[in-house]
Amino acid sequence: MSNYSTHEVLNAIAAAQKALSDRKDEVNRLNVFPVPDGDTGTNMSLTMQMVVDNLAKLPIGASSAEIRKTITTGALMGARGNSGVITSQILRGLCEGFEGFEEEGITTASLDSCFARATEVAFQAVRKPVEGTILTVIKDTAAAAKKARKKKLSTEEALDFIVNGAYESVQRTPEFLPVLKENGVVDAGGFGLAILIDAFAATLTGKEGFAGDALAMSRPAPKAEIEQIDDWDVDSAFRYCTEFLVHSNTIDVDAAKDFLPTMGDCDLMVGMHPNFKVHVHSNRPDQVLGWFLTHDCQISEVHVHNMKLQSDERNEKIEAQLEAEHKPLGVVAVAPGSGTAKIFESLGVDVVISGGQTMNPSTADILAAVNKVNADSVVILPNNKNIIMAAQACVEVSEKPCAVVATTSVPQAFSAMFGFDGEASLEENVEAMTEAFAEVKTGEVTHAIKDSKDAHGNPIKDGDVIGIADGSIEAVGSDVSDVVLALLETMEADDADTMTILAGEDFSDEDLEALVARIEEAYEDLEIDPHRGEQALYPVVFSLE
């Protein structure tokens, strides 16, 4: 029988998120593909952050069912990139597996049920599961949980056994994926999952990590508190939401809690000597602060928000949206730069989401964009392979009909928009737009962030300029323009009619003009259409058609 309280479990969840956030760069560095994308550690950490943020909004005393629903919803809405989406499904499975164990709590039996269900749900989410990834780690972790139950280990012993099983599985991932073994790394997603499980278990049991871990992955469990407050009620008779921290060793907590309701509603004082968090809706925040100042308290982090003004601003935005012309079909697109966003808008995209290579938008971000479109249904252009799963997750939860046209680059999306017909059905547009970008070849030029090898086994050094043709590293050099020309030759630019170029934020107009001149000299019959894309980290992105 487990004695862990809801408060302890919530703090363990917050600690797990903090541990992964602190080590996200370490996880990111395990990515084999040497481009500066929004990486696994970042995506998993941001997914977990949404979970923690949503849990913080629950009222004190929320039931186990409410907490599990909040975790599941928060994980899905916060999911970023493929790793974030899979992580959200693992969390969903853990929550579903806990059903029926509410009275027992966290025990060896409930851990077995949770991890078994997490494995089922995670594998169901991936059409073609690959061994040596986070899926392998969750499967092996579930096997460890089942073995712990058969061995009749105590809850604390089972948690130790499960964590060690997770790390052992991470160590084995290179045995399944040659590319991991070749680069001397373990799977990034699996490592991230092991960190989450480790920090959760260590915080729950009060351990300082696990000695003797071959990968030296365990760390002292971080401490993190979840503050639970109710959401604001803008229909309240009180105008100002007042929040602040109180520092005092002598404050009479009962007296303070008796005082706060006299000043307004939605009052809350949480914490213990010497630190407290106060929240109240009041028409006199000055008097609220004054009471604590006259009772031997220090206050900090004061935030006073006028809920009436916030409500008015929101209503104005809603009215403006309602006034916009309603149409049967709209488009949402992800853009990695301000110049790209302007091009999308000129092509008829209704809502542009800022994101892409350096920051993958979450399911919630995409859903919010879909809901902004004043249309009966919406087409989503993700424009990055690492955003497609989050876009597909949005389709599943959106009340408004929407569909994904699975573009993996901005140039593909430009061509897809030429196949868009606002009067045709959603299904007809998906087919036509997919067909429109099918023949587009995409080239991307960036700088390597680690030593690696190109598609042909040639060495790449950290800092080299690399050219990527539809996902394959085909050119390596020291100069951006030289790599573009080498990439064009590899991509058989002689057979193309048009070339669209997007200049990154660090690629000057002079550099762009010089590049266009070199391409025109090398390919006289190629029609070149240069633009300022202003994308980060990728000096040049181009397409051939």
Per-residue pLDDT of 17-58, as tens digits, reads 999 999 998 898 886 655 544 478 988 999 999 999 999 999
- Residue 277 identity (one-letter amino acid): K
Domain 441-544 falls under CATH 1.20.58 = no
Amino acid 234: pLDDT? 41
Domain 324-436 falls under CATH 3.90.1150.10 = no
Q: Reduce the DSSP state of residue 380 to 3 states and report it.
A: strand
Amino acid 32: pLDDT? 60
Site of tokens 């990527």: 468
The two three-digit tokens of residue 465, written as one number: 């300029």
What DSSP character marks residue 74?
Answer: H
Write down the pTM of the prediction. Answer: 0.69
Radius of gyration of the chain (CA): 27
Q: Which among 437, 522, 536, 430 has a CA at the least distance from the CA of 485?
A: 522
Confidence band (pLDDT; 50, 70, 90) for 215? very low
- The alpha-helical segments, DSSP class H, found in 177-284 are 178-183, 188-205, 253-263
Sign of the torsion angle spanned by Cα atoms 506, 509, 511, 513: positive
Site of tokens 């490592």: 191
Burial class for 459, CB neighbours closer than 10 Å (0-12, 13-18, 19+): exposed
Per-residue pLDDT of 320-359, as tens digits, reads 655 667 899 999 999 999 999 999 999 999 999 998 765 7
The two three-digit tokens of residue 526, written as one number: 């190629």
- The alpha-helical segments, DSSP class H, found in 23-100 are 24-28, 40-56, 64-78, 81-97
What DSSP character marks residue 80?
Answer: B
pLDDT at 435 over 90: yes
* Domains in the chain: boundaries: 6-205, 240-306, 324-436, 441-544
How much is the mean pLDDT over the chain? 87
Question: What topology is assigned to 240-306 in CATH?
Answer: Alpha-Beta Plaits (3.30.70)
Cis peptide before 34 (omega within 30 of 0): no
Give the pairing type, strands 498-503 and 527-532. Answer: parallel
* Cβ pair 532, 339 in contact under 8 A: yes
Amino acid 181: pLDDT? 85
Q: Which among 247, 236, 240 has a CA at the least distance from the CA of 277?
A: 247
Share of the chain above pLDDT 70, in %: 88
Confidence band (pLDDT; 50, 70, 90) for 202? very high
Q: What is the DSSP string of 328-374?
A: EEEEEEEESSHHHHHHHHHTT-SEEEE-SSS-PPBHHHHHHHHHHS-
Domain 6-205 falls under CATH 1.25.40.340 = yes
Amino acid 214: pLDDT? 37
**Residues, the chain:** 545
CA distances 234 to 121, 307, 315, Å, are 39, 6, 12
Q: Reduce the DSSP state of residue 509 to 3 states and report it.
A: helix
